[in-house]
Chains A and B, each alone.
Chain A
Amino acid sequence: MHELDRLHSVTWACWAAAAALTVEIAPNPVYVVLVISLSAIVVEVHGRDRPLARAFPILLLVGATFGAVKVALTVLTVHGVGDTVVTLPEWTLPRLLGGFSVGGTVELEVILQSAAEALVIVGVMAVFGAFNAVVSHDQLVRALPRSFHEAGLIVTVALAFVPSTMATVRSVQESDRARTGGRIVRRGRLVRLALPILATGLEKAIDLASSMDSRGFGRAAGTRGERLAAWFAAGGLVALAAAVVALIGGSAGLGIALVAAGASLIVLAIFIGSSADNRSRYRPRGLTWSDGAVIVASAAAVIILLVFRSSGIGSLSWDPVPLRFPTVEPVTVAAIALLSAPAAAGPYAEALVLPSTSDEVRA
């Protein structure tokens, strides 16, 4: 019945966790590039028409920037063994900044090693970007226990402000330029730009708050059940804090008892809070067979890779000393290929049902 959501948000969360773990378990650059390309294919197949769909390229770019900075810093400060590519002028930092030397010889192995580590960052960012581009955040909120519903909703609303704020930043910059007929005045520019951005964001937030209020949000708040749940949750947190003190103090028995008590109080609070919530849910969606298949495939990929790591097969990692191309083994590639299950589960159905919509988006 839900043609649109080919896969459940929970499935996407599992897939993203599995893909991120894969990058961590198998940091071999070839495998990381494989995961990044799989993420790109998944975004291509399942991408949605929302502003957050652009999360994938943006986060990829952010990851690449971080990676580049990391490589640059490593190359400047770490000196290892191997072939010297170039020799930079060396400079010793003042004692206040650590007193170590910057620059000097740059070795190929150091560059490759840090680039491989940076690629892992890019890989994790790519997976996170793909997750945000394909998941329905609203459905993710609905999948949470009901006591977390309001907190989750606030997070998704805040997330929706990111793309609109970016658009505001761009148009404020342009307005500032156009105001003087193209001349850019640097003095006081930051304040001139920041004020309209902040004020516009604040106005939008106030409008949204009054709109949510008019639509009955928070109407059920303050019932007896919710107050009870709040007390239980507070009690649970106090017990957990006490448990930390007890564990540090060395009384393990008391500590474990307190952890158990705190955890059960919090579970109870979630349970009471959820049943006290008299909001209803529109079209709740359960897991389907394709969801199951994707979850199983993602879990299998992680388990197989963990087995490979413990038995030392599959060339999961790569060491640039001595210098050689990373080894690639077909079994590992096959295991990682299991992460393409969402792409195999079929595309975003609306694209098939209503081909005309893409024209309207453009218009």
Chain B
Amino acid sequence: MKQLCFRSLSFSYPSPDGSRVSHSTRWERARDAMTPGLADIDIGLEQAELALVAGTSGSGKSTLLRCVNGLVPHSSGGVLVGEVVVASRSTVRNKPRDLADLVGFVHQDPEAHFVVDRVEGDIAFSLENLGTEPDTMRRRVEEVLDALDIARLRHRSPASLSGGERQRCAIASALAVGPAVLVLDEPTSQLDPQGAEDVIGAVVRLNQDLGTTVLMAEHRLERVAAFADRALLMGGGRVVGDGDPTAVLADYPGAPPVTRLGRLLGWDPPPLTVKGALSHLRREPDAVPVPVDPAGPPPAPAAPGEAIVTAEGLDLRHGKVRVLSDVSFTAKEGEAIAVLGRNGSGKTTLLRTLAGLHRPQKGKVDCLRRASYVPQDPNTLLSAPTVRAELEQTQRLLGRVDHRAVDHWLDRLHLTHLAPRHPRSLSSGERQRVAIAAVAVGGAELLLLDEPTRGMDAESREALRSAITSHVASGGSVVLATHDVELAAGCATTVVVLGEGQIVAAGAGRTVLTGSLFAPQVLRVMPPFLTVDEVRAARTSA
């Protein structure tokens, strides 16, 4: 008996003009529209299976997950053909609230999940709605508090918790009803690495110890691929790959760096973890290309030009908390600086101070050219009806519209095909790229990017990486605050590590990242190479 079955499922969103048309034309028109739907999905999930849903933004991952408890089509609208059956109950006849005892659904944004202002009460919310007996309810709440290790947070308000804690509380409340299937829609995309580790660890434990069936969408495959029993690869609303993660992800561009490395070196099957890669390497040590220059492989960083912004002895407090202390910082032409550090280490504050949004209590910021800041949350910026208008908006504010620059930035960030879409209809990674383009199109020499890869798929990250590289190559400068070491390894000329508001380490990327516990995967497998691209370049020249 399958726990969850998709039976020849197809779905299309309502036609954009909203007109009432006959069933078949509406279906055809929606199929031709760019809005992704789902087509011919036939999957069955066994009990206690952990299935990973991978795919680029807009490939239909979210839609697929939202079908499981009937949010699609009951709250999304649109036309659904076929059916989804969860433990012998069909979502066609049952609304999401009637499936609440079978499906635990966790949203991408933990903030959207909470109804009650106390963790314990929020966990009990679903149980109360189901009319569970008070004694059973009490026991269940205690059990899930332990299962997710959040008992000490029980009386706290969700708003006061960190992102990772909040997401674990959301999972606890989905788990409390004892669902047949736990559905997680990119649960770590809004979290820092530590929070993401906690959440993934908790999900894996639930699956392995309690036998909970899990269906999870995730971008950062390096964290979960090793634990998944099965991977479903989505593309254009269809399942294009289904089976063992090693086989399915082998050719996927968004696979973890070690997998891409394995593919490059012809390892079969490509490894999913650093551990797997190292064991391959032990068997065939000859695979390592000799670096062209063993002391430090290419490319040598271009000589930086004049300083664009200098900050000296910055001291800044929020209330009693010292956020920055004695930070000195310079960004020059042709430099891409990655600022790393855990949450609360002062990365965002440093960027905002450079952008002039905070005034330091001590020290000064000298900005010699124009600097623009891209906020962490792109939603605070997007106000135009189309992506193109969003970019033109910035130029209008600055008093000139230069269509060539607009086209240039749309192209740089791979947004050209999205230009006529409404920014709010895009996925979070796509919105992030629109926000970056909308700020960069203003022509500022210094771009300050705050956590730019949150929620981004591999393709978007690659587009961002190449956009940063080319902006820097054309004499600009980029400072990015990020948790994403792979991005830092791919584009930063300089890496700065912050801890408790102080600069802990600063220097060339390779120097700083080597020996770090948070080094990029490729560096851990075959130092001194930082990225797969470097290994490829070394092999071609060797």
Chain A residues with CB under 8 Å of chain B are 4, 48-52, 136-138, 153, 156-157, 160, 163-164, 168, 171-172, 174-183, 185, 191-192, 195-196, 199-200, 203-204, 207-220, 278-284, 350, 354, 357, 360-363
CB contacts (< 8 Å) of B174 on chain A: these are: 215
14 contacts between A and B (CB under 8 A): A4-B155, A50-B159, A160-B159, A163-B159, A178-B373, A179-B439, A180-B397, A180-B398, A203-B379, A208-B115, A216-B101, A217-B129, A219-B129, A360-B162
B397 contacts A279, CB within 8 Å?
no
How far, in whole Å, are A156 and B157 apart by their CA atoms in the complex? 14
For the complex, is B355 an interface residue (Cβ under 8 Å from A)?
Answer: yes
CB distance from A25 to the nearest CB of B (A): 33
CB distance from B373 to the nearest CB of A (A): 4
Q: A209-B75, A354-B152 are in contact. Are A219 and B97 (CB under 8 A)?
A: yes
A362 contacts B321, CB within 8 Å?
yes
CB distance from A317 to the nearest CB of B (A): 39
Q: A177-B357, A204-B112 are in contact. Are A185 and B397 (CB under 8 A)?
A: yes
A363 contacts B356, CB within 8 Å?
no
Q: A178-B355, A196-B382, A203-B379 are in contact. Are A210 and B71 (CB under 8 A)?
A: yes
CB distance from B91 to the nearest CB of A (A): 12
How far, in whole Å, are A209 and B374 apart by their CA atoms in the complex? 30
CB contacts (< 8 Å) of B372 on chain A: these are: 178-181
CB contacts (< 8 Å) of A217 on chain B: these are: 97, 115, 125, 129
A214 contacts B131, CB within 8 Å?
no
Quick one: closest B residue to A153, CB to CB?
B115
B157 contacts A196, CB within 8 Å?
no
For the complex, is B187 an interface residue (Cβ under 8 Å from A)?
Answer: no
How far, in whole Å, are A210 and B138 apart by their CA atoms in the complex? 26
Q: 1/0 per position for B114-147, CB-CB distance to A under 8 A? A: 0111101100111111111110011001000000
CB distance from B408 to the nearest CB of A (A): 18
A207 contacts B383, CB within 8 Å?
no
For the complex, is B444 an interface residue (Cβ under 8 Å from A)?
Answer: yes
Greatest chain A CB density within 10 A among B69, B162, B381 is at B381
Quick one: closest A residue to B395, CB to CB?
A180
CB distance from A362 to the nearest CB of B (A): 6
A48 contacts B157, CB within 8 Å?
yes
Q: A138-B116, A181-B370 are in contact. Are A168 and B380 (CB under 8 A)?
A: yes
A171 contacts B97, CB within 8 Å?
no
CB contacts (< 8 Å) of A199 on chain B: these are: 379, 382-383, 424
How far, in whole Å, are A273 and B249 apart by their CA atoms in the complex? 54
Q: Nearest 7 pairs between A and B by C-beta?
A: A216-B100, A282-B124, A207-B112, A216-B129, A178-B373, A50-B157, A195-B383
Quick one: closest A residue to B383, CB to CB?
A195
A200 contacts B379, CB within 8 Å?
yes
B357 contacts A178, CB within 8 Å?
yes
How far, in whole Å, are A273 and B125 apart by their CA atoms in the complex? 20
How far, in whole Å, are A138 and B71 apart by their CA atoms in the complex? 26
Partner of A218, one of B97, B157, B442: B97
How far, in whole Å, are A138 and B159 apart by their CA atoms in the complex? 14
A281 contacts B128, CB within 8 Å?
yes
How far, in whole Å, are A151 and B115 apart by their CA atoms in the complex? 13
Q: A215-B173, A220-B129 are in contact. Are A282 and B134 (CB under 8 A)?
A: yes
B375 contacts A178, CB within 8 Å?
yes
Q: Which of B103-111, B238-246, B471-479 contacts A (4 or more CB under 8 A)?
A: B103-111
Interface of B is mostly: mixed
Quick one: closest A residue to B448, CB to CB?
A178
For the complex, is B483 an interface residue (Cβ under 8 Å from A)?
Answer: no
A180 contacts B130, CB within 8 Å?
no
B442 contacts A179, CB within 8 Å?
yes
Contacts A182-B371, A282-B138 supplied; 6 other A-B pairs, CB < 8 Å: A203-B424, A211-B112, A213-B74, A214-B71, A215-B115, A217-B129
CB contacts (< 8 Å) of B469 on chain A: these are: none
Q: A280-B133, A281-B134 are in contact. Are A179 and B356 (CB under 8 A)?
A: no
How far, in whole Å, are A204 and B343 apart by their CA atoms in the complex? 24
CB distance from B198 to the nearest CB of A (A): 13
CB contacts (< 8 Å) of A363 on chain B: these are: 162, 343-344
CB contacts (< 8 Å) of A360 on chain B: these are: 162
How far, in whole Å, are A284 and B138 apart by their CA atoms in the complex? 11
A215 contacts B129, CB within 8 Å?
yes
CB distance from A278 to the nearest CB of B (A): 4
For the complex, is B25 an interface residue (Cβ under 8 Å from A)?
Answer: no
A175 contacts B380, CB within 8 Å?
yes
For the complex, is B160 an interface residue (Cβ under 8 Å from A)?
Answer: yes
CB contacts (< 8 Å) of B125 on chain A: these are: 215, 217
How far, in whole Å, are A363 and B318 apart by their CA atoms in the complex? 12
How far, in whole Å, are A329 and B343 apart by their CA atoms in the complex? 55
How far, in whole Å, are A177 and B152 apart by their CA atoms in the complex? 41
A213 contacts B439, CB within 8 Å?
no
For the complex, is B31 an interface residue (Cβ under 8 Å from A)?
Answer: no
How far, in whole Å, are A32 and B130 apart by their CA atoms in the complex? 48
CB contacts (< 8 Å) of B373 on chain A: these are: 178
Partner of A175, one of B116, B124, B375: B375
A179 contacts B394, CB within 8 Å?
yes
B118 contacts A179, CB within 8 Å?
no
CB contacts (< 8 Å) of B112 on chain A: these are: 204, 207-208, 211
CB contacts (< 8 Å) of B129 on chain A: these are: 215-220, 279
Greatest chain A CB density within 10 A among B113, B117, B125, B377 is at B117
How far, in whole Å, are A280 and B131 apart by their CA atoms in the complex? 5
Partner of B97, one of A138, A213, A361: A213
How far, in whole Å, are A4 and B156 apart by their CA atoms in the complex? 10
A171 contacts B375, CB within 8 Å?
yes
B383 contacts A138, CB within 8 Å?
no
CB distance from A18 to the nearest CB of B (A): 25
Partner of A178, one of B75, B95, B160, B439: B439
Q: A156-B117, A178-B355, A207-B112 are in contact. Are A219 and B98 (CB under 8 A)?
A: yes
B107 contacts A211, CB within 8 Å?
yes
CB contacts (< 8 Å) of A178 on chain B: these are: 355, 357, 372-375, 439
How far, in whole Å, are A56 and B75 apart by their CA atoms in the complex? 38
Q: A182-B356, A207-B109 are in contact. Are A196 and B97 (CB under 8 A)?
A: no
For the complex, is B438 an interface residue (Cβ under 8 Å from A)?
Answer: yes
CB contacts (< 8 Å) of A49 on chain B: these are: 156-157, 160
CB contacts (< 8 Å) of A179 on chain B: these are: 372, 381, 394, 397, 438-439, 442
